[in-house]
Each structure stands twice: as structure tokens, then as C-alpha cells.
Chain A
């Protein structure tokens, strides 16, 4: 809304505060007026929130909230408070009384409520605002009009200001709550004749729209894609001049920011605070500020690199006398870590050898004789794990009888999968151990093929060989590429062993159902009559490998 204004507008606004607020807090509407009927009530109290919501029979609402250190009335910020301060306590006390009441008695109590007299002055104003909102909302139109007449300015008072996007009270409250800004506003509004004022609500001047005269935005943001023929004044907010937008006057900022994202500004930008908060881009920043930022960034990067090195190594060797041995420590640490993993897995393997030797034999045999088939089954099983798990949950949940099973299914299925994976991996490791034992490598002579514990540990070490060598290479400088290759090979070996093992577990139902292969009678007979062939057989000393016809030839490979 346009209006005429002289340069002493602030004085007018201040007077307006007196005409609007003070009579309201002191007198208020007459209580004989008809009260509105409350249809529903909502009282909410939390550690950092207190709220009252009322819905009236005519569909209107009133919402008063104290949260996030702000006082909201119907969603608009009307002031600030501190949790636990006198205003907060007074409002919570009011809510405490409201909980027990409904409709008529509630209306009566709320209308009659007055802020405690001992509130500090600034809180008294806010409490008065709450009181006035309650009275205005809870009394019928006649009473509101009566109150408005009672608070209307005299003929001789300054012309009343109409404000878009809010009301006068909000403007006054905003200004009075930050009295230090009045001086800035005075300066900002110097020589402004016509002004459109927005308080507390963000304003958007769309493309094609023209604001005649000046635009004043208080405690809100403005985005301009249209035209403003005068100045744009922003108090505690951000002005964004969009592409196609035009400001034909100056931009005046009182504790505000200006972002020019295209658009044209005919006048100049005037900052009315000591602090430089106008942002045009990095190029306009003072040189010393840029240097300071650059130095801070450098220091931050250095710290980040230092932290990552420390985390990676697990040691903070810094740059002391131990620094040259950093690679050795790192290699030893990595090797130890891998060996601990081998030891733990090996202990599980020992348990399997001791308590489930048959299952382990069956799984190992399947992994040895049908590794390709086992790998494919393992891959398929891995992909199907999640769908089976989820479908199982759904299927059990939809039946009443299935609910107790569901309670077991949720935790036990993942455990069963993990157990299957470990069983399969240990079985494959045992096969690898047997192969190493029979190999010509001298460093595997310690592996006794007749002892499953040896073969399990030997196989686990064999499968971890890539990782161990990779870790050992930390000793050498510039070995990152080779370490990466070895680590990759280790991952492939581990995954391959895991999938073959898992597939073997699935094929043999965890080693309970041996895979049966069709016998080739001719081949069996040929092997039986040819004693020389025995040396070629994969018999080892494992009794399980003598199963069936006692020779590899009768099994499908």
C-alpha cells in the first residue's frame, strides 16, 4: 500500500506504537462483548516449546506458540523470548489452566487473562501482544470493533500507516524490539516520499509487476524480478535482485544483505551498518580478507591431510625420530592384523573339525569336485539372500501363527547365513591347505595333510597370502601400486573362495546331504585294474576323499 511519508517517518512510527500498543495493553476490549465459541483446543508443552491452538466454530483459528526463542502468533514472529524467562513461565501457567477447561469456561479464562505485572518491560509488551490476540480472537466482531474504536488515533495524530503482508502491530513490535535499528531506519528512509512496507513476510516482486515508489522490507527477505521505481530499503533481511529485475533508485541496507543475481540497479548500494555485509562476489572482498581466508583454508587442508595420515597408519608417529620406521611399523601392524584374522577364522575351523567333521568333509568335497557349479550356486544364493529374508518376514507377519516364527526368523536368518559362509570358507581353505601340503613348495612342508587342523590353517594362510605380502610391502617406499594389485588379488581370492564355499554349503544342505555323482562303470573298472593310476588320484590322507568308489574317476568333475 502506498502512502506519503516525510523524512521523520520514524517519529511517526514511534507515535503509532503508542497509539496501537499502549491502549491495547492497558484497556482492551470490553468484556461484556459476546464471546466466540471454541470448537477444539490444542495445548502443547515441551522442553523448548509451549503452544496454544484454538479452533472456533466459524472455522477461524488462533495459534500462539513460544518456540525456538521466538513468539509466534498465527505463524508470524512477533518477538523474542528466552526459554524459562518470565514470559515463558507466565504463558506456561496460562496453558496449565487451559488444559482443564473447554469451550465457555476456557474462553472466559483466556479473555480474562492478563500478563503478570512484574514482567520486564520488553516482555510486558510481548505479553500484551499475546493478551490482545486472545481477546481479539475470543470476542465477537462487535467487541473487536469496539476495541478498535477505543484505540483509534485522534484527529491530530499522524496518519495511520497501512502495511502489506502483516499489520501495524507487527511493524511496531519489530521496531521496538530492536530500538537500535530506529536510527538506521531513519537514515534509510531519508528523502523517501512513497513507500510500500512489508514486515516479517518475505516479499516477491514478480516479473512484469511495478512497485511505484520505494519498497521497505523489515525482518524479511525480498526478491525482485519486476521493477521498483524508487529505492529498496531492507532492514535485517536479504535483497535478491533477480535476472530481469530492476531497481531504479538506490539499495539501502540496514543490517541487511544484497545479492545481485542479474537484474539492473540504477542507483548505488548504501550500507547503513559498520559491518560490511554486502556480497557481490569474491572479487569485491578486501584483499586482506581474501588473504586471511586463503591462509585459513590452507591451514585447514594441512590439518586434514595430517589427520588422514594419522588415521591411516593408526599411529601418530609425527615427525619424530621414529618417522623413518613408519613403514616398518605399518607393515608389522598390517601383517599382525591379517594374522589375527586368520587365527580367529582358524579357531572356528578347529571347532568345525572337532564337532562337525562330517559336514566339513562333505562341503569340502563338493567344493573340490564341482567348484564351478558351487560358485554359480553361491552367486545365485548371495543375490537371493535379501529377497528371501524380506519375503520371509512378510510371509510370516501376515499370518497370526507365523508371528512367533517371525521373532526367530529376524535374527536367526542372518546368523545362519554367516555360519554358512564361514563353514564354506573354512572348507575351501582346507582344500587349499591340502593342495599346499602336496605341493612342491618348501615353505609349506609344515602342513601335515593328514591333520585337518594343519590343512585349515595352511589354507587360510594361503588364501591370505596376497594380503600378507601387500602389507609387508609397506616397508618399501613407492610400492603403493603393487600393494593395490596384491590387495585386489586377495579380495578376488577371498570372494572366490567364499562364493564356492557358500555354494557348496547350499548344495549339500550344510554338509548334511553329500552330492552324488553318476558312476561311469567303465572308468571305474579301468582305474581298478590299473594300479599306476592311483598315484594320479586326489586321495591324500583324508579318509573322506576315499569315499564312493575310492577314485576321482568315478565322480563328475
Chain B
């Protein structure tokens, strides 16, 4: 089993457990704790950053000047403990369970992780989270790679500022979630891969595309909304079972759908869609 697969299973399991509220300790009082952790970047050349978070609110942004990370964590110390390990190359952040019965957010109080990451440090970023409400702004981070896995979440990803460097591949694996990604062009990724189980996906293809790119979307059950800025050349290859397509402004040539300005567009994005059940809508934004 690949690491990513096992990670996804873990996040899904975490989400399931949290949704079911399993555990005889559910009635116990919780020991909520708030921790602030930070570390100087200390001239680090690059870093492999892995962030894991089970449930609660999750925000990612940029850290203050000179810091490799700045993490504020509100968590139930009875069941979790914070993780902040740096070995000179790899940075692990987040929380991990204490191995007892898990009980997460019950509406009364909710865990929260606010994470700031260094702006100037090239990093290969891996984000794994379960049943969270995530608000991720990766704008300004120097990303050489991005791998995001989420179980049952309501997540919004924004790349508010262009990535100062280029990345080969950005991967999003979404279990059962509402997932919105904005300004994907700012990632400067050559390939963006999205796998979704069930839920609602909204992908904004705006931002500054530095190169032609391909976006691959695999979807089980749900809806996909592609928001495409005018001026961006779009080709849509659709391979689906029972999936409707609402694509005003696209013309069909052969097996593919093309935007009207595909041939003249300065930047072109090809979307390969593989969906089982659901609906796909393409809309244009200025």
C-alpha cells in the first residue's frame, strides 16, 4: 500500500470516527490546550514539509519574517499531542493521536490549527487532513511540490500570490468533501491532478499561468465546476459514465471541447475529466 493511500485511509478513518463520535470516553471532560510553536528558518536551503491534522479548523498562511514555521494549535490533550519535528531536511507538523479512543469536535469546542510557513524557503509541501474546515492560502510560499489529501472536509485553497518557483506536479486527493481551489494558475504547476470521491469540486483556473498546463480530474460521485478566466485557452477531454456537461462557450471538435480562443490563447490548459456520476459545469469569469 502506498504511503499516500495509507494516508488517505488514515484521514478517512479519522473523519469517520469523528463523525460517528465513537468512544466510551466521549462523556469525559476534555483537556483543551493551546500551544504556540515557532522556529527560525536559520538559512535553510529547502525543506520537505508534512502537515497532518485530524479534525477541527485548519488554516495555512505565511509565517513572520525569519521564521520557518509559526504554529498555533488548540487541541484536546487527552487524545492528541502536537508534533513539530525538524531534522534539518524534513519538517513534520500537526497533531497525532495518543492511541486511545478518539473523539473529535462535538460542536461544543473544536480543535484548531493555524499554521504559518516560511515565505522564502523552497518547500515540497504535503498536507493531510481529515474532517476539517480548512482555509488554506498558499500564496507567497515557494512551493516545489504540493500534495494535498483530505477526508471529509470543507476546504478552500487559495493561491493568492504567484509561486516564486515552478513545480512539476500538484496533487489533490479529496475523499468526501466540498473542495474549492482558487487561482490555481498561481501555483505554476505543470500538471495538476485532482482525485475526488464524493462531493462538490470547484476549481478556479485563474491566476498567472506561466506555462501551458494540464489538469486531470478523476471524480466518483458529485459535481465539478470549472471556472475559467476569459483569455485562457481551455480544452476539455471528457470520459464519463453518467455525467452531464454544461459547457457554454465550448465547442466540440472530435472528442474534445475547446474554448473559442483556444488557437489564439497565450496560455492553454487541458482538462482531462474522468467522472462516474454527477455533473460538470464550465463557467467563464472575467
Contacts and interface: CB of A to CB of B under 8 A. Distances in A.
A216 B16 CA distance: 56
B36 A99 contact: yes
Interface residues of A, number: 27
Nearest to B68: A40
Interface stretch (A281-289, A349-357, A400-408, A467-475): A400-408
Nearest to A53: B37
Contact of A401 (B32, B173, B276): B276
Interface in B24-43: 31-40, 42
A39 interface: yes
Given A99-B72, A404-B176, 6 more contacts: A40-B40, A40-B86, A41-B39, A42-B35, A403-B220, A410-B16
16 contacts: A37-B40, A39-B39, A40-B37, A40-B38, A43-B35, A45-B33, A45-B35, A46-B31, A102-B40, A394-B9, A398-B5, A400-B173, A403-B12, A404-B220, A404-B221, A410-B16
B203 interface: no
- Which 8 A-B residue pairings sit nearest by Cβ, starting from the closest? A46-B33, A403-B197, A40-B39, A401-B220, A43-B36, A44-B35, A404-B198, A400-B197
Interface of A: 37-49, 57, 99, 102-103, 394, 397-398, 400-401, 403-404, 406-407, 410
Interface residues on B, range: 35 or more
B187 interface: no
Contacts of B36: 41-44, 99
Contacts of B182: none
Contacts, number: 86
A444 B33 CA distance: 68
Contacts of A102: 38, 40, 64, 66-67, 70
A400 B220 contact: yes
Interface string B1-36: 100010011001100100000000000000111111
A102 B69 CA distance: 11
Contacts of A42: 35-37, 84
B195 to A, nearest CB: 5
Given A102-B66, A103-B66, A406 B12 contact: yes
Contact of B32 (A39, A46, A397, A398): A46
A57 B221 CA distance: 51
Contacts of B66: 102-103
B145 interface: no
Q: Give the one of A40, A403, A406 with max B CB within 10 A.
A: A403
A94 to B, nearest CB: 13
Interface in B64-106: 64, 66-67, 70, 72, 77, 84, 86
A355 to B, nearest CB: 30
Contacts of B40: 37-40, 102-103
A407 B218 CA distance: 20
Contact of A44 (B33, B39, B86, B276): B33
A403 B37 contact: no
Given A43-B36, A103-B66, A400 B196 contact: yes
A42 B37 CA distance: 5
Contacts of B195: 400
B256 to A, nearest CB: 24
Interface in B207-229: 218, 220-221
Contacts of A57: 42
A131 to B, nearest CB: 21
A84 to B, nearest CB: 16
B120 interface: no
B175 interface: yes
Nearest to A41: B38
Contacts of A44: 33-36
Nearest to B38: A41
A487 to B, nearest CB: 29
Contacts of B32: 46-47
Contact of A403 (B72, B77, B84, B175): B175
Contact of A400 (B16, B34, B39, B175): B175
A398 B9 contact: yes
Given A403-B176, A404-B198, A398 B33 contact: no
A397 B173 CA distance: 13
Given A44-B34, A46-B34, A103-B66, A401 B39 contact: no
Nearest to B173: A400
Contacts of B175: 400, 403
Nearest to A397: B9
A40 B88 CA distance: 13
Interface string B140-153: 00000000000000
Nearest to A44: B35
Interface string B50-74: 0000000000000010110010100
A398 B195 CA distance: 13
A394 B5 CA distance: 11
Contacts of B31: 46-48
A45 B175 CA distance: 34
